[in-house]
Structure 1
Amino acid sequence: MSLDDHLVHVDGLSVDFGDVRAVDEVSFTLARGAALALVGESGSGKSTVASALLGLHRDTGARVTGAVRVGGVDVTGATDRELRRLRGGVAAMVFQDPLSSLDPYYAVGDQIAEVYRHHSGASRRAARARAVDVLGRVGIADAARRARSRPHEFSGGMRQRALIAMALACEPDLLVADEPTTALDVTVQAQILDLLHVLRAETGMGLLLVTHDVGVAAGSVDDVLVMRHGRVVERGGVTDVLAAPQEAYTKQLLSAVPRVDAVRDERSGELGDVVVEAKGLRREFGRGKGAFVAVDDVSLTVRRGETLGVVGESGSGKTTLGRMLVGLLEPTAGRLRHAGAEQRGTGAVPGVQMVFQDPVSSLNPRRSVGESIADPLRARGDRDEAAIRARVRDLMERVGLDPAHYDRYPHEFSGGQRQRVGIARALAAEPRLIVCDEPVSALDVTTQAQVTALLAELQRELGLALVFVAHDLAVVRQVSDRVAVMRRGRIVEYGSVDEVYDSPRDPYTKDLLAAVPALDPALAAERRAARLSRPPSAPEELAVA
């Protein structure tokens, strides 16, 4: 097969950032209309490879060597004008975070129209019509009206659809999707992956999918290329690689993937006293006709040594519930008791801590991680600096961090290490209860496994009660004793994790479980066919700003 018969031809690609080699001698091809996944942990170099296909390293200071051809264009040797024609016209990219990729000041339709005008030279009127057309094509209901909406008025899934519409506006031959579903809940993730499948079938475009989630790759591509430390460690058909991996790293990657059908080991002994009890909790935002009920009549208990998983789609109320449990939000109605004492108002609740989803934004970038971990100690009145520093070092060691890194800053740590910092800070106050709000959603599967194993170990050692809020049902099954399934602010199913997962009663729970990615490509294709055969669901509403 000649070079021009391939849509993508990469030969000996290396990318250096200063003294760091991010990509090392990577080679692969992608036929027209085919789909390939680049799979690996954070830092494996997969996103760097994807960016090289569109020449995005140009003028960044990176040193790029090797050959990259996309749609017949020599990317590494192309002029700036040739690269502009390549981007959007021949190849387009969809990024992980649609909110940061869209301009908050302009209507979504105007942004899509501008891209189309830039590449096609069409009139404003024709470009606006094209924007409405592609928004409708990606499943945005009432596209003409919603094209006038700004990004903050769209939900996360709608924003990702809008980015895909922008990529499709100029009918590219290649779509590069860089972690397009990482921040989405399972049902929206399934919708986006189904959409990419349908668009490939309709347009014949090729797909390069970058993901750390092997389950996402299983149902979406023909071939897989596994990367580690910038190099390719295994490649082949998706069925062959996932069913019979040859390399130890690929086996390790697959073993770290949480399974929705896994059964958690039975606990030994009885659980302890009730740590937190909620009865009839309700939380409203706004007043009058504009009031929005985020949590509605929720009751639950959590005991010492127990983990309660809280699952549901974005907007289900699970994060609002978690914030009420730690005192960051005051319930509009209902009762909340901690260790038997009634909680009133807002403010720090003794013995209760929270681990947040994004450790970057929850840590002060201008303060060392050691000082951040020390904050709860000083807040409770500790004044002996030598004792504080010793306690922080002990906590860092306990969560798997080097105590010698006390004076380092958050940007000097990986995502998984920053989450360990957040856990150490939560432990500093010797809590009875820790509420974990999506603590592993931004982490790759091996780092997820390390963090969840750490939480389980700490729980056994300290007898902690945990509330684990997440949209990833497989992770929740792995870590939880009981689970509460939330929808539109209410708990629709509540019970032991094995009962709820193995014999779900509520149709919503069944839909959530059916949307979890399957590692078996044949099963993934079967589930996708079943979803696509259903009548269209009600149009997705505009997000509440």
Structure 2
Amino acid sequence: MTDHLVDVTDLAVDFPVGAPGSYVRAVDGVSFTLSAGRALGIVGESGSGKSTVAAALLGLHRGTGARLTGSVRVGGTDPATASPAALRALRGGTAAMVFQDPLSSLDPYHAIGDQIAEVYRVHTTATRRAARARAVEVLDRVGIPDAARRSRARPHEFSGGMRQRALIAMALACRPRLLVADEPTTALDVTVQAQILDLLHGLREEHGLALLLVTHDVGVAAESVDDLLVMREGRVVERGPVGEVLTTPTAAYTRALLAAVPRLDAAPNPAPPGGTPGRSPGEVEALGSGRSPGNGGRAGRGPAPQGNDTAPTLEATALRKEFGRGKRKVTAVEDVSLILHPGETLGIVGESGSGKSTLGRILVGLLPPTAGEVRHAGAAPATGIAPGAQMVFQDPVSSLNPRRSIGESIADPLRAAGERDGSAVRRRVEELLVRVGLEPGHYDRYPHEFSGGQRQRVGIARALAPRPRLIVCDEPVSALDVTTQAQVTALLAEIQRDLGIALVFIAHDLAVVRQVSDRVAVMRAGRVVEEGPVDEVYGRPAHPYTRRLLDAVPVLDPLLAARRRSARQEVYA
């Protein structure tokens, strides 16, 4: 009899694909154990199989046509063969899962408290009143203020961090022994991410929960787990105590993965052995800059223009943006002035709701300012979409039409500019596909046929189509794993170097912003509270808010992470 809560031996998962009887292997020979009170992190690139392993622990592949071999035991139950009653007991009382996107996991039509109460009643014999009380109790435990009142709110009335807390509360409702968290902090800014990670750590200490954390962010794993399992292409390439894996990795892939992690110290990282993991030879040739994938291409680019010898690409003066009227009026941007020169990158950082995305939309003309003005290349104040300005959005899936080929999507700005020669349009699009590391033959393929990183390359190609002077990138790498992030940021840096484009890089990931920017503006509650050369702002932050943001960035040293967590708890107390 084992004392392990989770025991996985030689797990393999095949998914059906194409013709009947054809399968593709997503997980191949994975084995690990997890005991009560311990935390195991599974890291790897997109497509490495880490989420597939997590789903197998709760039997989520049942009924999908997937083929599982090997052995999986959670609290003594095999989720693949358990009866419906046993599987329900496993998913409620023994294990619970927290998914990446709380908005798609919560029913938009029902109050948060009602949804948690429903889960509790399904797995217990509790009355409606008792279930409601339990919902308020767990919402209070995960830090939702005024839990009784907020339990009556619907998901859209919660912020992203509060929705993630609500999902954790739902998972805790039936007092599970295992919490499986699949990318629980991917879309959150650094301060909210730190709060969620602190919450998970506190729950482990308080209830003796076991935690399986799936993440592509190595820094998040360093802050949260005891042991680390590194996956690539469905297989485990390295495992061990988190401190050992991060400081003395034995596998070349792990070393390459760590080399791709953006760091606050901005020191150029050495090129990983054998090239960047997950990057095809064609992609390496397309990037062709010779820069480290971990420094985003900033190192070696040379000093940014200082502004005395070239006309500014962008001038924004005293911008203000208000939404709503009367008592419902909200000021999203207040008294913001910026200047940007050719070939320069301005990073904009801040928490969710700080106004940075609204500012980005004003700069390209997607939103008109309530007050203030924006000038492009010294021209008169812009109204409407500014000529010479383009935008790369956070989610390439929602910004690309799924019913149109990527070539047609890239061609849209050309046709909007009046280009009517179909063959000329196709030639230009094919050139752009090559420019961003794709192939001319991809013109007729559709968005669902590409990975997340490839779709973001398509978004960059579309932005480049009308030969802009300015590109505003709004969270362009937030949903990508670290090596794909490095590829995209290196691509942007190469394009900027070759074409002299000015970039505004909006992100909640302060380490990425440090690696790609010449200057940085820190936003809070619609205002720029600090602005200057990136090395100065990061090295000697003048504003307490900037210091708080920097202190929340995950680090790769588990001991330092523990000390910082203790310091945050003292502040909260």
- Fold conserved between structures, TM > 0.5: yes
Specify every segment of 5 or more residues in structure 1 that has no aligned partner in the other structure, as ranges: 537-545
Deviation of the 1:345 alpha carbon: 3.4
The residue number in structure 2 matching 1:65 is: 69
Corresponding residue SS for 1:341? coil
The residue number in structure 1 matching 2:312 is: 274
Give, in whole Å, the separation in 1 of the partners of 2:192 and 2:300: 32
Deviation of the 1:270 alpha carbon: 6.0
Any conservation in 2 of the 1:335–1:342 contact (CA below 8 Å)? no
Corresponding residue SS for 1:350? coil
Note if 1:187 corresponds to 2:221: no
Corresponding residue SS for 2:572? coil
The residue number in structure 2 matching 1:326 is: 364
Corresponding residue SS for 2:555? coil
The residue number in structure 2 matching 1:308 is: 346
The residue number in structure 2 matching 1:543 is: none
Corresponding residue SS for 1:441? coil
Amino acid at match of 2:372: G
Q: 2:224 aligns with which of 220, 224, 227?
A: 220
Corresponding residue SS for 2:63? coil
Q: 1:110 aligns with which of 114, 124, 141?
A: 114
- Structure 1 residues 354-375: Cα deviation after superposition (integer angstroms, max 9, x where no partner): 0000000000000000111111
Equivalenced residue count is 533
The residue number in structure 2 matching 1:357 is: 394
Alignment of 1:327-406 (within 5 A): 327-346=365-384, 348-406=385-443
Any conservation in 2 of the 1:438–1:470 contact (CA below 8 Å)? yes
Alignment of 1:102-251 (within 5 A): 102-251=106-255
Any conservation in 2 of the 1:134–1:169 contact (CA below 8 Å)? yes
Any conservation in 2 of the 1:359–1:415 contact (CA below 8 Å)? yes
Give, in whole Å, the separation in 2 of the partners of 1:289 and 1:375: 40
Deviation of the 1:535 alpha carbon: 3.3
The residue number in structure 2 matching 1:539 is: none
Note if 1:317 corresponds to 2:355: yes
The residue number in structure 1 matching 2:337 is: 299
Deviation of the 1:261 alpha carbon: 1.4
Give, in whole Å, the separation in 1 of the partners of 2:476 and 2:349: 13
- Structure 1 residues 298-334: Cα deviation after superposition (integer angstroms, max 9, x where no partner): 0010100000000000000000000000100000001
Give, in whole Å, the separation in 2 of the partners of 1:476 and 1:209: 25
Give, in whole Å, the separation in 2 of the partners of 1:503 and 1:344: 35
Note if 1:445 corresponds to 2:482: yes
The residue number in structure 2 matching 1:540 is: none
The residue number in structure 2 matching 1:504 is: 541
Deviation of the 1:251 alpha carbon: 0.5
Give, in whole Å, the separation in 1 of the partners of 2:304 and 2:530: 24
The residue number in structure 1 matching 2:45 is: 41
Amino acid at match of 2:528: I
Amino acid at match of 1:291: K
Alignment of 1:449-460 (within 5 A): 449-460=486-497
Q: 1:17 aligns with which of 12, 15, 18?
A: 15
Q: 1:31 aligns with which of 35, 38, 46?
A: 35
Give, in whole Å, the separation in 2 of the partners of 1:410 and 1:433: 25
- Structure 1 residues 201-233: Cα deviation after superposition (integer angstroms, max 9, x where no partner): 000010000000000000100000000001100
Corresponding residue SS for 1:10? strand
Corresponding residue SS for 2:5? strand
Alignment of 1:417-432 (within 5 A): 417-432=454-469
Give, in whole Å, the separation in 2 of the partners of 1:172 and 1:335: 55
Give, in whole Å, the separation in 2 of the partners of 1:329 and 1:405: 33
- Of residues 392-401 and 67-76 in structure 1, the stretch that sits farther from structure 2 once superposed is 67-76
The residue number in structure 1 matching 2:274 is: none
Any conservation in 1 of the 2:98–2:168 contact (CA below 8 Å)? yes
Identity of aligned residues (%): 74
Amino acid at match of 2:393: F
Give, in whole Å, the separation in 2 of the partners of 1:104 and 1:65: 37
Q: 2:92 aligns with which of 88, 92, 111?
A: 88
Note if 1:480 corresponds to 2:517: yes
- In structure 2, the CA distance between the partners of 1:509 and 1:451, relative to structure 1 (3 Å rule), is same
Deviation of the 1:12 alpha carbon: 1.1
Deviation of the 1:269 alpha carbon: 5.8
- In structure 2, the CA distance between the partners of 1:269 and 1:523, relative to structure 1 (3 Å rule), is closer
Corresponding residue SS for 1:400? coil
Normalising by the residue count of structure 2, what TM-score does the alignment of the two structures yield?
Answer: 0.92
Corresponding residue SS for 1:217? helix
Any conservation in 1 of the 2:311–2:378 contact (CA below 8 Å)? no
Amino acid at match of 1:161: R
- In structure 2, the CA distance between the partners of 1:525 and 1:381, relative to structure 1 (3 Å rule), is same
Give, in whole Å, the separation in 1 of the partners of 2:311 and 2:461: 24
Amino acid at match of 1:314: S
Any conservation in 1 of the 2:36–2:210 contact (CA below 8 Å)? yes
Corresponding residue SS for 2:444? coil
Normalising by the residue count of structure 1, what TM-score does the alignment of the two structures yield?
Answer: 0.97
The residue number in structure 2 matching 1:514 is: 551
Deviation of the 1:342 alpha carbon: 2.4
Any conservation in 2 of the 1:209–1:217 contact (CA below 8 Å)? yes
Any conservation in 1 of the 2:260–2:486 contact (CA below 8 Å)? yes
Amino acid at match of 1:274: P
Corresponding residue SS for 1:73? coil
Specify every segment of 5 or more residues in structure 2 that has no aligned partner in the other structure, as ranges: 17-22, 268-297
Deviation of the 1:483 alpha carbon: 0.2
Give, in whole Å, the separation in 2 of the partners of 1:354 and 1:69: 48
Q: 2:526 aligns with which of 489, 497, 507?
A: 489
